[in-house]
Amino acid sequence: MLNISQVEQYHQKGYLLASGLIPDTTSKKAEETLWSILNMLPDQPESWKTIPAYAKVEPHRNLIDITTAVPDLMACCTPEFLRATAQLLNTPSIETHRPNGINTINVFPTAEWSCGKPHIDGIELGGKKHRRTFPGPLRMVVLSFLSDTESKGGGTMVWPESHKQIRALAESNLQKYEYLLDLHNEVHSLDLGQPIELMPKRGDVLFFQHLFAHAGTANIRQTPRLAFRYLCTCRACEKWKHSLDWNLWTP
């Protein structure tokens, strides 16, 4: 179980980076398996240039995205992880709502460091405004890491307590901000303060709340940053469609 200070941080700051929810042997095996899925070798940078045909790529961040359901990665969804998720949401039933897929999000080294603008998850970038702000398509976003991260090594940038300001903005005009996309477009108008660069280790899990501002960063270090989020095909998760076959897991 998470301790009281961890739960308080999640609710007050809007996020929690937790260790100890995935055994070291499990995360290590998952990392090895992910390298195999990528068809790359961790100690041979030349092999990182050959991208599998089944992968998706975001060139601006040198991000390689692969969807899988291999058991070695699914093993990271431990009972401890599910209990912690249920604890943060105060919803015991989450412990039985297991995801059944993995969307890996791997940031490979690039020449220049950059950080995206603060954004919120759950929006529809295609222009279709069907994802409403409240209650929203998600209550929590979860990102698990399979490599150690250094500064400017592809870690996540977060704006502590930003969920409070963004929620207040949304509630100030429920009609104007009925849809997440409209709210997202106004996030830049808020003074969110200084961001914090998170540098997770292999086996760490990042939880953050609905309407929490965060951003991805580029990786100028010598090793890729390996991470993943969970997918699910159940009906309850259909509110956050990821692809033709998968939904993003929404605990």
For residue range 96-125, list pLDDT tens digits in order: 999 999 999 999 999 999 999 999 998 865
Per cent of the chain over pLDDT 70 is: 97
Type of residue numbered 8: E
- Examine the pLDDT at 151 and tell me if it is beyond 60: yes
Q: In the structure, what pLDDT confidence band is assigned to residue 137 with cuts at 50, 70 and 90?
A: confident
Q: In the structure, what pLDDT confidence band is assigned to residue 129 with cuts at 50, 70 and 90?
A: low
- Residue-wise pLDDT tens digits, 41-91: 999 999 999 999 999 998 888 999 999 999 999 999 999 999 999 999 999
Question: What gap in Å lies between CA 217 and CA 127, rounded to an integer?
Answer: 24
Average pLDDT across the chain, whole number:
94
**What pTM was computed for the model?**
0.95
Q: In the structure, what pLDDT confidence band is assigned to residue 238 with cuts at 50, 70 and 90?
A: confident
Q: Sign (positive/negative) of CA torsion 137, 143, 76, 55?
A: positive
